[in-house]
Structure 1
Amino acid sequence: MNMAKWRSYLPLATLFLLMILGSLLSDKFLTYANLMNLLQYSAESALIAVGMTLVILTGGIDLSVGSVVALTAVVSANTQHLGVWGILAVVILIGALVGALNGVVLTKFRVEPFMATLATMAIFRAVALWYTNGGPIIGTVTPAFSNIANGSLLGIPLPAVYVVVVFILGYFVLNRTPFGRHVLAVGGGEETSRLFGIKVERVKVIVYIISGVLAALAGLLITSRIGMGEPRSGFQFELVAIAVVIVGGTSLTGGRGTIGGSFIGLLIFAVVMNIMNLLNISSFVQPIVRGLIIILAALAISRMVKSKSAAAEAS
């Protein structure tokens, strides 16, 4: 097995070592309650990371997801009279619309994904703040709605179930459908994809819609969990999602990456944060550690790409 192949297993090896470290540092780490807690509080990041993976695989980026979380968090808190299914429908519609807006702006108007979603990030956050006059919507969440994030299935917290389900669905879409193959093809080369009859613009719009819907559902989940609509929800969620995807081995240039890798990336971040919480490390220090992980992941990916290029030149 060559060095490049070994490096592809680096995220999994890192997770394994972190699990060992966690078990050595705290006797609470490997308990069922703690592991379920770890998954439970990763649910919002999991939803956003799957959408972000698909976007990045096409060579794009979606900086608006955190603001979409905030927007749907406040809307879901203010539409409790519609019932759970009504709220869900409204939230999905909002997510689809904002995702479609992102997709159309960058495909029809040829705006770079970074700039397009940077602009919508500011717009959606401003709309959320305007909608609530800058304050939270408190005391409106019904017990049925609260159960979405605080309930359980066969003793397993529902958010932990959501994490597993969303990654399974993401894996199926990317690896078992023509659309998934088109996503990878577009990220590998747009002009080549067009020559093979792939509708590149349509693929891009769809991945941004998926990203928008999953971010919207994350906003709904936050409101269900905390019991109020907070317009400042989702702060820096886009950075966390991008970091999860990078740590999982997906290339920011598109065309290379897996949903499974993003799942491993999510667990790496969740385990690191969990260990620091168990050790009572300051919340001000935790972002520093997160940043260092991103730097190390970027270095590993950069070296992997260089080694592949060198191997290709040698052959």
Structure 2
Amino acid sequence: MMKKLRTYLPLATLVVLMIVGTFLSDKFLTYSNLMNLLQFSAESALIAVGMTLVILTGGIDLSVGSIVALAAVVSANSQQLGLAGILVLVLLIGAVIGAINGIVLTKFRVEPFMATLATMAIFRAVTLWYTNGGPILGNITPAFSYLANGSVLGIPLPAIYVVVVFIIGYVVLNHTPFGRHVLAIGGGEETSRLFGINVKRVKIWVYIISGVLAALAGMLITSRIGMGEPRSGYQFELVAIAVVIVGGTSLTGGRGTIGGSFIGLLIFAVVMNIMNLLNISSFVQPIVRGLIIILAALAISRMLKSKASAGIA
């Protein structure tokens, strides 16, 4: 019963929001608007998939926003390497920082919150030092710009990325031993060890994946805006965590789905899109985002209490 509630409540919320959006604006259900909705969700989608895996193990990754910023400025400053060279460099940045997070919390037994809070601060500072606090206005090549601004058969490439990354995430979580190990660890580390799962290795890989996806998001931002902005990724970690939780994943780990995170992403994207269509101030929008998080937390809390009451009865 609890699993069904976690699945259908976010979906029902999304359907209601879609209906509301249709009534509030005649532009909402247009093809161009829906494509824009997905297009500008690409970076959040990448980070949300990685964050889902992290949270399912019972962890948290607060460093993703800083990884986004560092990858964004490095990719802007490395155009001479060509698209393939930039991609390798960005993947390396994400993998190294992710590995640092994983090693610190597994080998040195630092809590995930504290470990990634530290790397969040460190690599945000590294980014600002690298750029002297200003944007990198590099000569962005057409091939690099095409990554975020191109299209295939009229479909923006970032919209395709959103679908592809969630499909890959779904397959990894539900149809591979690694995905089963992620869920098992979130359900109980000691039990997982007894069943022969290398908990430390799985956790390190989860943070590497999160770091790599965050770095790719940073590269996409630079491709889209045409420069390396050191303040990129600000509060992305909070948005990603909210997306995952709104999608029904438990913060304690072990319970959640990639599909739920996809719905959570769409909920936030639809709300932001509706507010943009209604010309609501950008200063008000974060307030609405915060209210969504509170409402989601209350809904989950009520479901847990109802389940507990039913169990007692």
Q: TM-score by structure 1 length?
A: 0.97
SS of the residue corresponding to residue 228 of structure 1 reads coil
User: Per-residue CA shift, 1:113-152, capped at 9, x if unaligned?
Assistant: 0000000000110111111111100032111100000000
1:28 and 2:62 equivalent?
no
Deviation at 1:4, TM superposition (A): 6.7
The alpha-carbon deviation at position 306 of structure 1 amounts to 2.6
Which residue number corresponds to residue 58 of structure 1?
A: 57
Aligned partner of 2:127 in structure 1 is 128
Matched residues in 2 for 1:38 and 1:3: separation?
30
Equivalent residue number for residue 113 of structure 2: 114
Other structure's SS at 1:253 match:
coil
CA distance in 2, matches of 1:118, 1:310: 36
The runs of 5 or more residues in structure 1 that have no matched partner are none
Equivalent in the alignment of 2:207: 208
Partners in 1 of 2:108 and 2:65 — Cα distance?
23
Moved more, 186-195 or 300-309: 300-309
SS of the residue aligned with 2:197? coil
Q: Tell me the alpha carbon deviations over residues 232-262 of structure 1, each in whole angstroms, 9 at most, x when there is no partner.
A: 1000000000000010000000000000000
Question: Residue in 1 aligned with 2:94?
Answer: 95
Displacement of 1:88 in angstroms is 0.3
Give yes or no for contact 1:4–1:304 (8 Å, CA) kept in 2.
no
Distance in 2, Cα, partners of 1:187 & 1:205: 14
Distance 1:235 1:256 in 2: 28
Q: Deviations over 1:2-23 (max 9, x none)?
A: 5773453110000001000001
- Aligned-residue CA RMSD (Å): 1.1
Q: Distance in 1 between matches of 2:12 and 2:259?
A: 14
Counterpart for residue 263 of structure 1: 262
Shift of 1:303: 2.0
Distance in structure 1 (CA, Å) of the matches to 2:58 and 2:298: 19
* Matched length: 313
- Residue number in structure 1 paired with 2:279: 280
CA contact (8 A) 2:187 2:253 kept: yes
Q: Using the alignment, how far apart are the partners of 1:29 and 1:160 within structure 2? A: 16
Q: Offset at 1:154?
A: 1.2
For 1:190 and 1:250, the matched residues in 2 are separated by 18
8 Å CA contact 1:42–1:270 kept in 2: the answer is yes
Residue 43 of structure 2 corresponds to 44
| 1:4–1:308 contact (8 Å) kept in structure 2 | no
Specify the alignment match of 1:186 in structure 2: 185
Q: Secondary structure of 2:94's match?
A: helix
Identical-residue share of aligned pairs (%): 85
Answer yes or no: is the 8 Å Cα contact 1:4–1:307 preserved in 2: no
Aligned to 1:10: 9
| Distance in 2 of aligned mates of 1:81 and 1:54 | 34
Mark the CA change 1:273 to 1:256 in structure 2 (over 3 Å): closer, same or farther. same
Give the secondary-structure state (helix, strand or coil) at the position aligned to 1:124. helix
Secondary structure of the corresponding residue to residue 70 of structure 2: helix
Moved more, 6-15 or 186-195: 6-15
Tell me if the contact between 2:170 and 2:259 (Cα under 8 Å) persists in the aligned partners: yes
Question: Any idea what the Cα deviations from partners look like across 1:57-107, whole Å, max 9, x if unmatched?
Answer: 000000000000000000000110110011001000110000000000000
**Alignment-derived partner of residue 67 in structure 2:** 68
Q: CA deviation at 1:311?
A: 3.7
The AA in structure 2 aligned to 1:91 is V
Query: Secondary structure at the residue paired with 1:138?
Result: coil
Which amino acid counterpart does residue 93 of structure 1 have in structure 2?
L
Answer yes or no: is 1:153 the counterpart of 2:152: yes
**Any conservation in 1 of the 2:79–2:138 contact (CA below 8 Å)?**
no
Aligned to 1:141: 140
Cα pair 2:7 2:260 within 8 Å, conserved: no
Partner of 1:300: 299
Task: Give the drift of 1:305.
Answer: 2.3
- Once residues 137 and 3 of structure 1 are traced to their aligned partners in structure 2, the CA distance between those partners, rounded to angstroms, is 49
Q: TM-score when scaled to structure 2?
A: 0.98
Q: 2: distance between equivalents of 1:53 and 1:72?
A: 21
Residues 241-252 of structure 1: pairs in structure 2 closer than 5 A: 241-252=240-251
Match of 2:169 in 1: 170
2-structure distance, mates of 1:6, 1:265: 14
Structure 2 residue runs without a partner (length 5+): none
What is the identity, as a one-letter code, of the residue corresponding to 1:299? L
1:153 Cα shift? 1.0
